[in-house]
Structure 1
Amino acid sequence: MLKHFPVTIKIMALVLLLTSSVAGLAQNIRGTVRGKVVTAKNEPAAYVSIGLEGTTHGSTTNEQGEFSFRAPAGTYKLVISYVGVERVEIPVTINAAQSTDVAQITVKASQSQLTEVNVIANSANRFTSRISNDAAKIPLAALENSQSYTTITGGLIKEQQIFSLDDALRNAPGIQKLWDATSRAGDGGGIFTQRGFVTQATVRNGIAGLVTNTIDAVNLEKIEVIKGPSGTLFGSTLTSFGGLINRVTKKPYDVFGAEVGHSVGSYDLSRTTLDLNTPLTTSKNVLLRINSAYNYEGSFRNYGKTRTFAFAPSLSIKASDRLSFLLEAELYYGHAAAKPFFFFYNSPKDMGPKGVTEVKDLGIDYKQAYVNDDITMYSRSTNYFAQANYKISDKFISQTVFSSSNSFSDGANPFYYLVNDATAQLFNPTLPATPTGHDYIVRGDQTTRNSKFAAVEVQQNFNGDFKTGSLRHRAVFGLDYQYINSNQVFLSGTYDVVRINDKNFDYAALNKNIVDAYYAANPASAANAFTYYYKKNTYSAYLSDVVNITDRLIASVGVRVDRFENKGTYNFDRVQVNKPFSQTAVAPKFGLIYQPVKDAVSLFANFQNGFVNPDVYVNTTGQSITPKIQNAKQIEGGVKTALFNGKLNSTISYYHISLTNTMRNVPGSAIFAQEQDGTQVSKGFEADIVAAPFSGFNIVAGFAYNDSKITNSTDPNVAGRRPVTAGSPYLANFYLSYRLSETAVKGLGFGLGGNYGSKTYAVNSISEGTFQLPEYYVYNANVFFDRTKYRFGLAVNNLTNTQYYTGYTTINPQRLRQFVLSASYKF
């Protein structure tokens, strides 16, 4: 197995070596410093990071606002600092082998503001987030959550000069991009694989927030990659059997602040950003924050350009000491040329006399767009959110949330069929009479014609933190309603057959005028339009309780009851083609945590459930079949750490997922028949490490192995084989960052990162043969100079200019080397 990832092994060995050096800090005789932090209202400030400036020593307050950590003897400044909160500095002298008590520290902020407090000291583990409000729908530290998840912080995103959620996910182990965003209404966002199953980024702050073009990073506070089937808390429409991607957005704070930035780079990149925050009243009860970005970029190909605009305002209103509101919007607009996708029209084994098994056998021109870049698609995603929080008592809180997601797309989306020469001749009889190779592609298109997709979610949560006897409960009871209205229209066409690699051919001659003329001659109708016209309702109730049996033993239990209603599907003429149906699902979950070292090491295990209500399908006899509910069960166990005062954070886990009632396409079927049978078993191992071994140096590293197979299927064509949706069996990521401290160039830093993906199947069956995309090693580097008022950065993405591919059932070339230069000024 090791031969698949030699570089990964070296990286992980380096990580372990560097993190073990933290233990060397104990060579000095240490003392203990302890104290308590409270908010402006004299309430305990929980989960606040606090540390000794210029050192690697610090800790995080517990739920009572208390902290305690050890450090070498000496005189220091104890520091807490946060954007929008007055910096707190407390002189402290630590004596060897003694405890030093610090007077109570008050920070001028509310507990909600302090959720993401960071220490402004180069020692801090800058890329960790101690608490999540969304992963369990109640505030929980990672060591208290029996489910594994990875957090990608806003600080990491900013340091790496990442501009999209898609690129930010390179920092999470076990998740891999399969498709770039197509921008099609309803389903056009980037497609990823996680734990063997396809997923998309459809969750925002724990509820629905669909974006169907590339998600801009300008409004991201952090990203949470939540692992495994999570139907109990998130239902069936927002998550996949492998997990979900939750984006946590920036929120208003109570002082004026602004940052403007501009970036330029390879492929005509030009990007302008704004982050503006201001109180709107003198009492600071009404706060406004606006994040916005305009992005223009060309392509590493000879044609292709993208223009996007993101605008995300948020308004916070404190109506009283008990009642507050948060109103938010996300407006994303895109106008882009398509990124080439290559499909197999003929199976890989039928591509020429000997077939093909690797990309290098196909002759694809990596830098060729194959069409003119005036063939574009316009896309729009407009999301609106409203949240009301009401403090019922000191122990119970009510949260009411409304979400409205709307997407629209109109325009062409070219793609290409890989064909053998015999098939090419069927499309164009003037081609050579005795073809034997695979020298051609068919240029096709799937146009969306004024497609619309709307989703509404209303959610009511009651959160409690209370005791029954000696047991502490942190519970949530929720009611959820989701409504989906899909009006998606697709038109398909094929334009011509051309050689796949002809240096003298003008591929750009296929332009917008030709596409428009084709569809003018073939207008949409029930005969040739492929539609997704349907309405769906989902009514849910869920309950989850995290119980502290002791201060080290934590159990959790939860259940969801879900009522799904499909109102039927319709063709282009609004004639019903599938009748309505309803289904009820029950999704339980259980978890257990034991901390052998309090607040430092957690042993965890969970049982989780996920489910999906598939659409009506057509079997091989042409009969419409109401599907069975697909159900996934996961068993997972592992260990989480927050050692050395939080400087070595890790999650190591093993999981086993079993999915029943899998759907499969029937090969060779002229009516696109499907069958629902068999099981997919997905199991594997994941390791996630975030460490700060010494002052200024930070490490993010991860490794994942996944073994997925179709089992118990009645179709021997795919039985026992890895599904193409599962991606690479081996994935690895790392990022090393060093920031200089206490020097004339304080704020200067350097970063180096990379990703590895082993070979992955684009095709894998007996009838079609097997075709694997090659393994890849992709490296990124950056240098930055970050000061209080300004920041400069230079990043190089795909440092070694590697040609690599992603895809499932397809072959998708990825971006070559790109230089990015950024500057920003903070007011």
Structure 2
Amino acid sequence: MKNVLICASMLGSLATYAQKKDTVNTKSIDEVVLINTYIKKDSEYSNKMPLKAIENPQVYSSIDKVILENQGLYTVDDALKNIPGLQQMWTSNGRAGDGGAYVSLRGFVSANSLRNGVLGAVTGTIDAINLEKIEVLKGPSGTLFGSLLSSYGGVINRVTKKPFETFGGNISLAGGSYDTYRAAVDVNTPLTKDKKLLFRLNSAYTNEGTFQTEGFRRNLAIAPSLSYKPTDRLSINLDMELFQMKNMTDQTFFFYSGSYLQKVNNIKDLNLDYKNSYLGKDLTNTGRSINFFGQVNYKISNSITSNTNFSTSSSYSNGFMPYLYFMGDSADSMYRSDQSTRDSRKKSLNFQQNFNGDFKIGNLRNRVVLGFDYLRVNNNQNFYDVNGFDKNSQGESIPVPLHQSGFDYTNFNGSALQAQYNAMAGKEAPYLISGIQENYAVYLSNVLNITDNLNVLMALRVDNFTNKPDITVADKKKLNQTFFSPKLGVVYELIKDKVSVFGNYQNSFKNLDYYINASGGTATPVPEQANQLEGGIKTNLFNGKLSSTFSYYNIKVKDVLRTAIGASNPRAQVQDGTIVSRGVELEINAYLLRGFTAIAGFSYNDSKYTEADASVLNRRPNTSGSPYLANLYASYQFLDGTLKGLGFGVGGNYASENKIYNAVDGVFSLPSYVVLNASAYYDAKKFRIGVKVDNFTNQHYWIGYTTANPQRLINAVGTLTYKF
């Protein structure tokens, strides 16, 4: 049964496979297919070794590709709405280095940085065409993933589709609201008769318009994959990803200090025209991410395996990044500006070697990973600013009216902006990020089964970080730091393979640059670090038909740099800041009635500065997102009769108020929201028809990362897929 399911998953059409005459009962495999759609999946990546969810001391969530298909989702950004405790903060804009989407996890900002457990950064929209599933590992994960690829809130890992031994695939076309149209292909074929050399290609092109007056996105994704297995012990995988994006960046409002905060404290108070982009034409940007991956797996013995990984990541961007902002006295006017990139690039290289062992010492089972990790980052990022699009006769930035009838906001356009840059030629003062970062690390992790029901995880990482900035660009100094990052986890299975209680201590860290101290000198920082204590319970009941995780966590970040109050230099800092983030999370995956499935989650996060400037002391950081989040998706599929293959579902997300500016001089918030989505599909042997309607209540809602970004109104997309 297990082998049949694996093959069916690889074919990408489990329901179709279930219709084939096999030794397995058709009705039985249909049920298992639906269970596998929603139950908690075991992970090989959360601790760099295979661990069942019930015996894993770390909390993680996963989204299977069938969920994406049933909900009609084709980007990672949209898929992440199914993750409890995760909130989208910033949509991708394609800018080299930092242009990817950002989310909030456990009160901290996180991004998509991992692919199959190694570096796989993408700075544009990440198409899900080549994904088997998405995993989100919760909490500080620096011990096994390092500081450059993880955040204090967690890690997002993309698990990709692999080639398989038979010819097959599908072609799909989609179209819908706001000039949305899409073409995608997934084709797999063996290249040799002995089926040792296999090839798979996933590719998609998507065009999306906007509900506002200006805006668009055009995304191209190409992801070929080649696998070669010369012997039973040795396998080699080679992959490439190309994500190319041309877009006009989403409307973005920034909010800075000013007396206007005494007049407004919520985005609704500004009475903005939700459908007006307040921008003109041709403010476009071109971004590109190219990733290459190589993996060699070798079985040294029955108990020891070697896993060698090599990856490169390259991002490029060129074009405009317009933005709007508020500051000063008036809430009835706004400023307009831009931060462009020109031939901006960031390149990274990651080499990782892991040795995994599964053996006994005496009567104690040991599951061990010993790893070496090398990461090199080359920065050549170039940012340009016109210092305000609208200026007075003295060249000072001035605001424009927000509610003046007939005001021409379209004069802020590509031609006018380029003219300003041309006029500044030779007098520009660009912000450049240039230099090399290198990181060497060795880590050791062991899961020790003290009894059949009790296991203890112990791990340690030794990390050496070197920052070599280009001193011709900025007044920087070389930095060399070594840091130890431990991890401890305990799991006791109250009922074997069904109910477990767990606890963990997890650590992560961040290497900081030299800073100016209160006396005006240059100070060497120690690495900022986060320590998490977490405990909870996991269940896996009714043969996997009901799985759940409930946990409480407490994360303390210390040695945070903050402004040195009273210092003569306004750039002066002191390294004694502290942030505490604590909360609870609940996730439930259920298949209790035949054909009916549900995934649900709830989280509460309480974050605040406990040591900080007086302006923000005991306040929630403005990047922490909403304290309360909830998600739900329920679906039903007919498994018998004339309606067999027909399915439909409904669900949505709730987020409480989000304080994107939170200080003594004022608070500015984005309101709470409930967004509801629905989908329906019919899955037959040779084709599939699907339709989704997102935000069907036409909710006006905003997301933000110290910003306000309006989100799509009601929209529908239909998809037709042909299988071969």
* TM-score, normalised with respect to structure 1: 0.82
- Counterparts of 1:105-116 in structure 2, within 5 Å, are none
| Match of residue 23, structure 2, among 89, 97, 110 | 89
- Counterparts of 1:25-174 in structure 2, within 5 Å, are 88-90=22-24, 121=32, 124-174=35-85
- SS of residue matched to 2:475: strand
Distance in structure 2 (CA, Å) of the matches to 1:317 and 1:624? 53
CA shift for structure 1 position 502:
3.7
Larger radius of gyration: 1
- Counterparts of 1:321-720 in structure 2, within 5 Å, are 321-347=232-258, 350-351=259-260, 354-420=262-328, 437-493=330-386, 494-496=388-390, 497-523=399-425, 528-570=429-471, 574-575=472-473, 577-619=475-517, 623-664=521-562, 674-713=573-612, 715-720=613-618
CA shift for structure 1 position 495:
1.0
CA shift for structure 1 position 788:
2.3
CA shift for structure 1 position 507:
1.6
Distance in structure 2 (CA, Å) of the matches to 1:339 and 1:314? 32
- The one-letter amino acid of 1:613's match is N
Confirm whether residue 262 of structure 1 aligns to residue 180 of structure 2.
no
Q: 1:82 to 1:661 in 2, by over 3 A?
A: farther
Distance in structure 2 (CA, Å) of the matches to 1:597 and 1:175? 30
Q: 1:487 to 1:439 in 2, by over 3 A?
A: same
Q: Please name the residue that 1:314 is paired with.
A: 225
CA shift for structure 1 position 149:
0.3
Q: Please name the residue that 1:106 is paired with.
A: none
CA shift for structure 1 position 351:
0.7
| Match of residue 221, structure 1, among 132, 145, 148 | 132
Q: 1:523 to 1:294 in 2, by over 3 A?
A: same
Q: Deviations over 1:152-186 (max 9, x none)?
A: 11110111111211111100011111111121111
In the alignment of these two chains, the number of paired residues is: 709
Structure 1 contact 622–671 (Cα < 8 Å) conserved: no
- The one-letter amino acid of 2:307's match is Q
Q: 1:447 to 1:81 in 2, by over 3 A?
A: closer
Distance in structure 2 (CA, Å) of the matches to 1:664 and 1:281? 61
- SS of residue matched to 2:23: strand
- SS of residue matched to 1:126: helix
Distance in structure 1 (CA, Å) of the matches to 2:683 and 2:544? 24
Distance in structure 1 (CA, Å) of the matches to 2:26 and 2:191? 38
CA shift for structure 1 position 745:
1.5
Confirm whether residue 787 of structure 1 aligns to residue 684 of structure 2.
yes
- SS of residue matched to 1:725: coil
Distance in structure 1 (CA, Å) of the matches to 2:682 and 2:15? 20
* Structural RMSD (CA): 2.4
Give the percent of matched residue pairs that are identical in Structure 1 and Structure 2.
Answer: 46
Structure 2 contact 512–525 (Cα < 8 Å) conserved: yes
Q: Please name the residue that 1:12 is paired with.
A: none
Structure 2 contact 264–331 (Cα < 8 Å) conserved: no
- The one-letter amino acid of 1:467's match is K
Q: 1:495 to 1:617 in 2, by over 3 A?
A: same
Distance in structure 2 (CA, Å) of the matches to 1:666 and 1:343? 24
CA shift for structure 1 position 568:
2.5
- The one-letter amino acid of 2:686's match is K
Q: Please name the residue that 1:30 is paired with.
A: none
Q: 1:618 to 1:820 in 2, by over 3 A?
A: farther
CA shift for structure 1 position 500:
1.6
Distance in structure 2 (CA, Å) of the matches to 1:38 and 1:179? 40
Structure 2 contact 598–633 (Cα < 8 Å) conserved: yes
Confirm whether residue 773 of structure 1 aligns to residue 674 of structure 2.
no
Structure 1: give runs of 5+ residues left out of the alignment. 1-36, 40-44, 51-79, 95-117, 423-436
CA shift for structure 1 position 672:
5.2
Q: 1:621 to 1:264 in 2, by over 3 A?
A: farther
Q: 1:620 to 1:762 in 2, by over 3 A?
A: farther
Structure 2: give runs of 5+ residues left out of the alignment. 9-13, 391-398
Q: 1:119 to 1:741 in 2, by over 3 A?
A: closer
- Counterparts of 1:266-305 in structure 2, within 5 Å, are 266-305=177-216
| Match of residue 157, structure 2, among 225, 233, 246 | 246
CA shift for structure 1 position 523:
3.0
CA shift for structure 1 position 797:
0.7
Distance in structure 1 (CA, Å) of the matches to 2:352 and 2:238? 15
CA shift for structure 1 position 93:
14
CA shift for structure 1 position 487:
0.4
- The one-letter amino acid of 2:243's match is Y
Distance in structure 2 (CA, Å) of the matches to 1:463 and 1:655? 29
Distance in structure 1 (CA, Å) of the matches to 2:583 and 2:212? 37
Distance in structure 2 (CA, Å) of the matches to 1:789 and 1:91? 21
Q: Please name the residue that 1:14 is paired with.
A: none
Distance in structure 2 (CA, Å) of the matches to 1:92 and 1:327? 35
Q: 1:623 to 1:503 in 2, by over 3 A?
A: farther
CA shift for structure 1 position 798:
0.9
Structure 1 contact 312–331 (Cα < 8 Å) conserved: yes
CA shift for structure 1 position 136:
1.0
Distance in structure 2 (CA, Å) of the matches to 1:617 and 1:84? 62
* TM-score, normalised with respect to structure 2: 0.94
